[in-house]
Amino acid sequence: MAASAHDQQLPEAISEEALARIQASSDSASLEALRVEYLGKKGRLTGALRALGSLAPAERPAFGQRVNRAKEALDAALAARGEELRLRRREAALEASAVDVTLPGFGPTPGRPHPLSRTLTEICDVLGGMGFTVEEGPEVEDDYHNFEALNMPADHPARDMQDTFFVGDDRVLRTHTSPVQIRVMERQPPPLRIIAPGAVYRNDDDATHSPMFHQVEGLMVDRGVTFAHLKGVLTTFLRRVFEREVGVRLRPSFFPFTEPSVEVDVGCVVCGQRGGECRVCKGTGWLEILGAGMVDPAVFAHVGYDPEEFTGFAFGVGVERIAMLKYGIDDIRLFYGGDLRFLRQF
Ligand code: PHE
């Protein structure tokens, strides 16, 4: 006995139920589950189509058409709902990553030169403008260049002036930039006019001394270089660096590698040379700023320069000392602490 189409669940009823569930589905996984449930191989509409064989032949075409229409409606609904859910997902993702373009931005935070680099650059610029060219030498030096060739033979008492860091039998961290004088004179004949900026090391550590600090060495050698040239160069140099007409005073001193030797003072840049209660110059009105002198003939002998033909002057200036005076910094350790509150002031 042929079954009637009415014994089957009506395709319209199936699709009505399916359409409602598709509309209510909230994600693509449940949507896919619905597709399988209704349109899959063992799906309910597919099942309805399979039942076609059990219908009377006359009913088959009409019933088949109804099933197909129901399938088409489901297909369309699945596609539409899928698209809707995709859009909703995208909107949610956009919202989650939303940027409020009306908020104020973070300004760029540009770097700037460290006050020591700045001072070093200024010193080199001023001396560069006076015809001195920059030379460099190693920070790990041998005994010969740091001491011996600078007229400080072993056991020379002047070696005690500098608290040396030894890093090997014959190796020291250079205690000053003066060894660069030797290295330059070893490789080139006079005349020469050089400066040698760089780090130097001494076993010393307090508010005004750091175990590592910086010097700029100066050396000029030629025929007829006199002490007056030294004084003129230093006076011009110091006035340009401090950007004012500071007083300059030379006091007799001693260095093994210069003769005669001087210590050079500038009028106190804090109290304007008035002295009195000034804590920086301790009331003297003067600040010791560098060491200098005429190159000792014994140094020329080590590098093979003829002291009868050539004379020269040399000086060594502390970069931290100049920076501290220029910018009113009272503790040398501020230069190396990396404290941004300090650094941002420059
Ligand atoms: N090298 C000396 C120091 O570090 C400074 C100096 C350099 C003195 C050149 C005279 C000539 O104290």
Average pLDDT over residues 76-93: 94
* Ligand 1 geometric centre to CA of 114 (Å): 25
Please, what is the average pLDDT of the chain?
Answer: 92
Which SS3 state, helix, strand or coil, does residue 252 take?
strand
Residues 9, 134, single domain; the answer is no
Q: Is the CB of 255 under 6 A from ligand 1?
A: yes
Q: Is the CB of 193 under 6 A from ligand 1?
A: no
Confidence class for position 9, pLDDT limits 50, 70, 90: confident
Q: Tokens at residue 211, please? A: 């175990």
- Of 96, 129, 144, which residue is a domain's last? 96
pLDDT at residue 327 greater than cutoff 50: yes
- Closest-CA residue, ligand 1 atom 10, reads 292
pLDDT at residue 1 greater than cutoff 70: no
C-alpha to C-alpha distance for 226 and 311, rounded to whole angstroms: 7
Average pLDDT over residues 212-219: 97
- Domains held by the chain: number: 2
pLDDT digits (tens, 9 = 90+) for 100-151: 889 998 888 888 899 999 999 999 999 999 999 999 999 999 999 999 999 9
Q: Contact, 319 vs 215, CB < 8 A?
A: yes
The verdict on residue 103 lying in a domain is: no
The verdict on residue 212 lying in a domain is: yes
C-alpha to C-alpha distance for 303 and 188, rounded to whole angstroms: 10
C-alpha to C-alpha distance for 9 and 318, rounded to whole angstroms: 101
- Amino acid identity, position 4: S
Q: Which residues contact 211 (CB under 8 A, 6 or more apart)?
A: 165, 201, 202, 203, 204, 205
* Ligand 1 geometric centre to CA of 315 (Å): 6
Residues 285, 200, single domain; the answer is yes
Q: Tokens at residue 94, please? A: 């956009």
pLDDT at residue number 307:
97
The verdict on residue 213 lying in a domain is: yes
Residues 163, 303, single domain; the answer is yes
Residues 182, 88, single domain; the answer is no
Confidence class for position 161, pLDDT limits 50, 70, 90: low
Instruction: Select from 280, 295, 291, 270 the least CA-distant residue to 215.
Output: 291
* Ligand 1 geometric centre to CA of 313 (Å): 11
Residues 152, 262, single domain; the answer is yes
Residues 156, 56, single domain; the answer is no
Residues 64, 196, single domain; the answer is no
C-alpha to C-alpha distance for 216 and 186, rounded to whole angstroms: 19
CATH of the domain at 283: 3.30.930.10
Residues 54, 18, single domain; the answer is yes
> Is 144 or 1 the better-scoring residue by pLDDT?
144
* Ligand 1 geometric centre to CA of 318 (Å): 9
* Ligand 1 geometric centre to CA of 261 (Å): 9
Instruction: Select from 329, 330, 325 the least CA-distant residue to 345.
Output: 329
- Of 63, 96, 129, which residue is a domain's last? 96
pLDDT digits (tens, 9 = 90+) for 284-319: 999 999 999 999 999 999 999 999 999 999 999 999
Residues 61, 122, single domain; the answer is no
The verdict on residue 107 lying in a domain is: no
Q: Contact, 290 vs 234, CB < 8 A?
A: yes
Is the pTM value of this prediction over 0.85? no
Residues 141, 17, single domain; the answer is no
Q: Rounded to 5, what percent of the chain is helix, strand, coil?
A: 45, 20, 35
Q: Is the CB of 313 under 6 A from ligand 1?
A: no
* DSSP alpha helix (H) spans, the chain: 11-24, 28-39, 44-50, 60-96, 115-129, 143-146, 179-187, 227-242, 297-303, 319-327, 340-343
The verdict on residue 209 lying in a domain is: yes
pLDDT digits (tens, 9 = 90+) for 166-196: 998 889 999 999 999 999 999 999 999 999 9
* Ligand 1 geometric centre to CA of 107 (Å): 46
Could you list the residue range(s) of the whole structural domain that residue 36 is in?
2-96
Average pLDDT over residues 52-66: 88
Q: Which atom of ligand 1 is nearest to the CA of 292?
A: 10
Q: Give the mutation target among 163, 213, 255 for probing the ligand 1 site: most ligand atoms within 8 A of CB.
A: 255
Residues 92, 137, single domain; the answer is no
pLDDT at residue number 5:
44
Residues 64, 188, single domain; the answer is no
- Closest-CA residue, ligand 1 atom 7, reads 316
pLDDT at residue 8 greater than cutoff 60: no
pLDDT at residue number 2:
43
